[in-house]
């Protein structure tokens, strides 16, 4: 850890530190929801298909997931303050290129690089959030705060971008994100000491090969899932080739991890029952969360609602997420069985889906959707 030197300077109050952390993590989280802020506006500006906009988001996520294991090596080698500014600078540069370009392939490449840089800044933010939380509830509060932000960010991005896209082109969102990094960066520069949160570990034997294999496999799998239906699945040679290539890459990755002394991804975790159950629950949860996108499409395509009104409806979803996070974290702190928390959560999701089935019609009152959302 940082030894006798505190992470933040003595004059920085606790509230200033909290504001700094919020200003630091907000732009990085906004990049997660940027591609889905308004798919039609993005497609119109770049002159691409809506599926291309969706795939740019997949490429970003693939970079975050693929780089996560390798990122820890850089985190332990570079001092935290320096690492934050490197990650922030990379995100500003990639955002500027996304702001300037009209080329689809340039957009894909720099969204991928943006995801790698975002992984670094998010890792720093999570670590610093946990460093400010003390006591037995620190773990629960820390994860609750972060995942609350993560779940809300899609609806929040739609809310703040809808009025902007009525007046400006889509690329102006990247310009806003560039400037949104500045307050957090300035506050971090003055308030944080140049300390390390981990013991320095040299950058040798970096497993770039596993990263490339893993990230490429994720990108190809995402390509199949995004473009498959549009191109009639395996009737299209590109979909068939991508499927075969992704299977080969993932098989190669597994064999490589088993042969390495220090694997990039420790596959031993799959031997633990709780990990497999947790992974299954997350998979089911995100399928259920995906229906929120279907709901937004229904509001726009069937009810003819504009993005601003859809965004205000999504305020109900944000309120529900915040209430749900408070209740669930409280249940965990009180040592209630995790299965009970899961049952409560998935029962509410079941009620939401059944309710929406009855509400979906060619004509409906938007206010009636607020409670289920």
Each residue of 59-113: pLDDT tens digit? 998 998 888 888 888 888 887 888 888 888 999 999 999 888 888 889 899 999 9
* Count of other CB atoms within 10 angstroms of residue 309: 15
pLDDT of residue 36: 66
Residue 134: both structure tokens together = 């003390």
From start to end of 44-185, where are the E strands?
Answer: none
Which pLDDT value is given to residue 93?
Answer: 92
Q: pLDDT at position 4, please?
A: 62
Residues written for the chain: 373
CA 183-187-193 angle, to 5 degrees, is: 150
Pairwise CA distance, residues 155 & 165, whole Å: 15
Specify the pLDDT at position 38.
Answer: 72
* Residue found under tokens 């991890």: 257
The 10 Å CB-count burial string (b at 16+, else e) for 279-305 is eeeeeeeeeeeeebeebbebbbeebeb
Residues 55, 223 contacting (CB under 8 angstroms): yes
Sign of CA dihedral 250, 255, 260, 262: positive
Nearest 5 degrees, angle CA 130-CA 133-CA 137?
105
Provide the residue-wise pLDDT of the chain in tens; the chain has 373 residues: 444 667 778 787 888 888 888 888 888 888 877 766 677 778 888 888 888 888 888 899 899 888 888 888 888 888 788 888 888 899 999 999 988 888 888 989 999 999 888 888 888 888 887 777 766 566 667 777 777 777 777 777 777 777 777 777 888 888 888 898 888 888 888 888 777 777 777 777 777 888 899 899 999 998 998 888 888 888 888 989 999 999 999 999 888 888 877 877 777 777 778 777 877 887 887 777 777 777 777 777 777 777 777 778 888 888 888 888 888 877 877 777 778 888 888 888 888 888 888 877 666 677 777 777 7
DSSP 3-state of 110: helix
Q: Which alpha helices (DSSP H) does 260-306 contain, by range?
A: 273-301
Tell me if residue 328 falls in helix, strand or coil: helix
Give the model's pLDDT for residue 216: 92
Neighbours of 161 (CB within 10 A): 24
Return left, alpha or beta for 3; rule: phi > 0 is left, psi -120 to 50 is alpha, else beta.
Answer: left
Read off the pTM.
0.84
Percent helix, strand and coil across the chain, each to the nearest 5: 80, 0, 20
pLDDT given at position 318? 84
CB 257 within 8 A of CB 268: no
Q: Which of 145, 55, 57, 74 is nearest to 326 (CA)?
A: 145
Distance separating alpha carbons of residues 156 and 37, to the nearest angstrom? 9
Domains and CATH numbers, the chain: 1-206 (1.20.1250.20), 272-373 (no CATH)
d(Cα 340, Cα 331) in Å, to the nearest integer? 9
Rounded distance between C-alpha atoms, residue 255 and residue 259, angstroms: 6
Q: Would you state the structure tokens that stand for residue 215, as one six-digit string?
A: 């990230």
Q: Sign of the CA dihedral 76, 80, 82, 85? A: positive
CA distance 269 to 278: 11
Tokens representing 270 are: 């799959």
């Amino acid at each position: 850890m940082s030894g006798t030197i505190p992470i933040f300077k003595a004059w920085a109050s606790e509230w200033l530190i909290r504001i700094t952390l919020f200003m630091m993590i907000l732009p990085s989280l906004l990049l997660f929801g940027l591609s889905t802020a308004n798919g039609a506006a993005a497609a119109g500006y770049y002159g691409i298909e809506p599926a291309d906009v969706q795939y740019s988001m997949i490429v970003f996520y693939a970079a975050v997931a693929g780089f996560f294991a390798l990122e820890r090596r850089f985190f332990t080698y570079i001092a935290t303050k320096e690492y934050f500014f490197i990650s922030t600078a990379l995100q500003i540069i990639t955002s500027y290129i996304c702001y300037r370009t009209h080329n689809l392939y340039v957009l894909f490449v720099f969204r991928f690089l943006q995801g790698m840089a975002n992984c670094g800044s998010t890792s720093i933010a999570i670590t610093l959030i946990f460093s400010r939380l003390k006591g037995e509830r620190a773990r629960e509060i820390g994860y609750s705060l972060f995942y609350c932000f993560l779940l809300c960010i899609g609806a929040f991005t739609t809310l703040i971008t809808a009025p902007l896209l009525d007046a400006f082109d889509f690329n102006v969102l990247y310009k806003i994100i560039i400037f949104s990094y500045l307050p957090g960066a300035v506050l971090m520069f003055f308030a944080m000491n140049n300390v390390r949160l981990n013991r320095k570990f040299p950058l040798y034997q970096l497993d770039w090969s596993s990263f490339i294999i893993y990230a490429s496999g994720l990108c190809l799998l995402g390509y199949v899932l995004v473009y498959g239906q549009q191109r009639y699945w395996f009737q299209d040679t590109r979909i068939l080739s991508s499927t075969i290539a992704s299977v080969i890459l993932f098989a190669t990755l597994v064999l490589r991890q088993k042969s390495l002394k220090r694997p990039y991804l420790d596959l031993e975790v799959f031997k633990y029952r709780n990990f497999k159950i947790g992974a299954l629950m997350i998979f089911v949860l995100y399928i259920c969360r995906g229906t929120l996108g279907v709901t937004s499409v229904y509001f726009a395509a069937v009810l003819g609602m504009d993005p601003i009104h859809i965004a205000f409806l999504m305020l109900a979803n944000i309120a529900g997420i915040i209430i749900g996070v408070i209740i669930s974290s409280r249940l965990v702190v009180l040592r209630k069985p995790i299965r009970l928390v899961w049952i409560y959560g998935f029962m509410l999701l079941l009620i939401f889906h059944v309710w929406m089935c009855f509400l979906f019609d060619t004509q409906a009152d938007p206010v009636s959707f607020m409670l289920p959302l």
